[in-house]
Amino acid sequence: MLEAAEVGNKLDKKTFRKAAPKIRTALLAVQKRIANTPLAPVIVVGGAEGAGKGETISLLLEWMDTRGIETNVVWDPTDEERERPDYWRFWRLLPPRGKIGIFFGSWYTQPIVDRAFKRIDAATFERAMRRIRDFERMLTYETGPVLKFWLHLSREQERKRLKAFAKDPRLRWRLHKDAKKFFKHYDDFRPVDEEMLRLTNTGYAPWTVVEAADNEYRNLTVATTVLQTLEEAAAEAESRARAKRTRRPPALPKPKRANVLRNLNLTQKLSAKQYDKRLAAAQADVGRLTRKLAKRDRALLAIFEGPDAGGKGGAIRRLTGAMSPYIYRVIGIAAPTDEERAHPYLWRFWRNLPRHGRVTIYDRSWYGRVLVERLEGFARREEWQRAYDEINGFEEQITEGGVIVMKFWIAISADEQLKRFKDREVTPFKQYKITEEDWRNRAKWDAYEAAACDMIERTSTSVAPWTLVEGNDKHWARVKVVEAVRDRLCSEE
């Protein structure tokens, strides 16, 4: 793809000056339209050192309303970033809906540099490219277009540019500190760039490779591509918004006769004596093992799902009771804030990822997407269907980043739930736990069971398997949870 950008494209200054005001007006207009859509376009700018990445973006910023654009420079990670999975730093910089995010340095930088300097092999590089495809597909679905520009210079053009920059004291600072080093490896970078372009030039997020030697040609190409892409995206979003949303209740799934949940033996129980003994022993171990997380650059993320009144809160309390209050945080899923709604649905979980040494516990989690959001129709069919894959990818990434992921489904029978609901209504310090919504959810018991089975089937992965917990007996359930955490932490030692 790069050779096609070494053909000598040029644009004379006069043509550029004539075209500029029109494009500028149109860019401002489309930016205003974007502000009223749920889109958050992302612009990635990559390419050769000295190719004019900064200049091009300066021009865009000059032409557009800067207040609606967030420019992000991603280079050396901070220590807060180093203590989180790789993509955390990109997630935290994603623009909110209505705004545009520009990335200099991006999810492409590290894999390309690592591969050019032979720090990673071809397979690892390909894997990184596949992760990029998944990420950009998710972004495209969730918040709209990902525009990618690769500003290309031939070897000879780059050599000339760097020389000119080095000579001129007013330009010298423009060179990245590693520019010279990178240029020495021009021939190592080129095939990597080609491979990267081939593997990530997807239909949903195609690359625009721009011949960068001529300033006017480069700037106009980028500006018009941005304009066209944003105009198309805005028009599409507007027509979607106009289309009357026939808010039909979604078809509720039915559970299979035999399924993983029905196969559970809910009659298992523990005596009070066994409970006390085993719980205390497991808690002591969990206390000891969680204190060691920091030294091992690991974190723990435990999530709890299951029917209302299944005993999630009680199990969580037994788990946190084992830990120092300094290291854990319990997050209950409430309605997302508007900042959270302004980002892809996994954003709120990325932003709350534990640092090394810390423990985060979710009372309900990202699986809401394929449970309540699916059943209540808050997520469209295509949204919850792709969510399984997105969630598996998310868990894989954070596992690689040092986060131990544990997922508990606490199962109870419908009869047991009814008994507990009634109990909650009469016990003073439990009343805060029962609401009308609980009764409404109960009416959809079968559908929840079916959705849960689908979920468990599709998201029980080797890195993050589900632990199914028989919950009719609280003693049994709590001990199973705390012992499971103990065993997992032991196995990770």
Contact between 170 and a copy of itself per CB under 8 A: yes
Contact between 330 and a copy of itself per CB under 8 A: yes
**Residue 339 CB coordination number (10 Å):** 12
Nearer to a copy of itself, 343 or 407 (CB): 343
| Helix 186-200 vs helix 122-143: crossing angle, to nearest 10 | 50
Give the interface segment with a copy of itself, choosing from 10-18, 62-70, 182-190, 403-411 (CB under 8 A). Answer: 62-70
> Residues 265-284 vs a copy of itself: string with x where CB under 8 A?
-------------------x
DSSP letter for each residue of 270-281? --HHHHHHHHHH
Contact between 66 and a copy of itself per CB under 8 A: yes
Contact between 319 and a copy of itself per CB under 8 A: no
Rounded distance, CA 168 to CA 51, Å? Answer: 16
Rounded distance, CA 397 to CA 377, Å? Answer: 28
Instruction: Rule CB under 8 A: choose which of 328, 345, 350, 394 binds a copy of itself.
Output: 328
Nearer to a copy of itself, 118 or 170 (CB): 170
Contact between 54 and a copy of itself per CB under 8 A: yes
**Residue 441 CB coordination number (10 Å):** 19
Contact between 426 and a copy of itself per CB under 8 A: no
Q: How far is the CB of 338 from a copy of itself (least distance, A)?
A: 5
**Residue 246 CB coordination number (10 Å):** 5
Contact between 487 and a copy of itself per CB under 8 A: no
Question: Using an 8 Å Cβ cutoff, are 103 and 45 in contact?
Answer: yes
Give the interface segment with a copy of itself, choosing from 258-266, 321-329, 417-425, 478-486 (CB under 8 A). Answer: 321-329
Contact between 316 and a copy of itself per CB under 8 A: yes
Question: Using an 8 Å Cβ cutoff, are 231 and 173 in contact?
Answer: no
Bridge partner residues of 360 (DSSP): 301, 329
Question: Which parts of 50-206 are beta strand (E)?
Answer: 69-73, 100-104, 146-152
- Residue 388 CB burial class (10 angstroms; 0-12, 13-18, ≥19): middle
Determine how β-strand 328-332 pairs with β-strand 359-363. parallel
Instruction: Rule CB under 8 A: choose which of 36, 58, 274, 435 binds a copy of itself.
Output: 58
Strand order, beta sheet including 42-47 = 69-73, 100-104, 42-47, 146-152, 207-211
Q: How far is the CB of 126 from a copy of itself (least distance, A)?
A: 30
Contact between 493 and a copy of itself per CB under 8 A: no
For 362, the token pair is 């979710």
Question: Using an 8 Å Cβ cutoff, are 148 and 204 in contact?
Answer: no
> Residues 122-161 vs a copy of itself: string with x where CB under 8 A?
----------------------------------------
Give the interface segment with a copy of itself, choosing from 76-84, 132-140, 246-254, 444-452 (CB under 8 A). Answer: 76-84
Instruction: Rule CB under 8 A: choose which of 320, 360, 413, 472 binds a copy of itself.
Output: 320
Instruction: Rule CB under 8 A: choose which of 38, 68, 377, 465 binds a copy of itself.
Output: 68
Question: Using an 8 Å Cβ cutoff, are 244 and 162 in contact?
Answer: no
Question: Residue 493 in 3-state DSSP?
Answer: coil
DSSP letter for each residue of 444-471? THHHHHHHHHHHHHHH--SSS-EEEEE-
Nearer to a copy of itself, 62 or 382 (CB): 62
> Residues 352-381 vs a copy of itself: string with x where CB under 8 A?
-----------x------------------
For 157, the token pair is 């053009």
Contact between 182 and a copy of itself per CB under 8 A: no
Q: What are phi and psi of 232, to 5 degrees?
A: -65, -45
Contact between 21 and a copy of itself per CB under 8 A: yes
In this structure, the chain runs to a length of 493
Contact between 303 and a copy of itself per CB under 8 A: no
Instruction: Rule CB under 8 A: choose which of 291, 296, 419, 442 binds a copy of itself.
Output: 291
Count of residues in contact with a copy of itself, rule CB under 8 A: 50
List residues binding a copy of itself (CB under 8 A): 21, 24-25, 28-29, 32, 54, 57-58, 61-62, 65-71, 73, 78-80, 104, 170, 173-174, 284, 288, 291, 316-317, 320-321, 324-332, 337-339, 342, 363, 428-429, 432
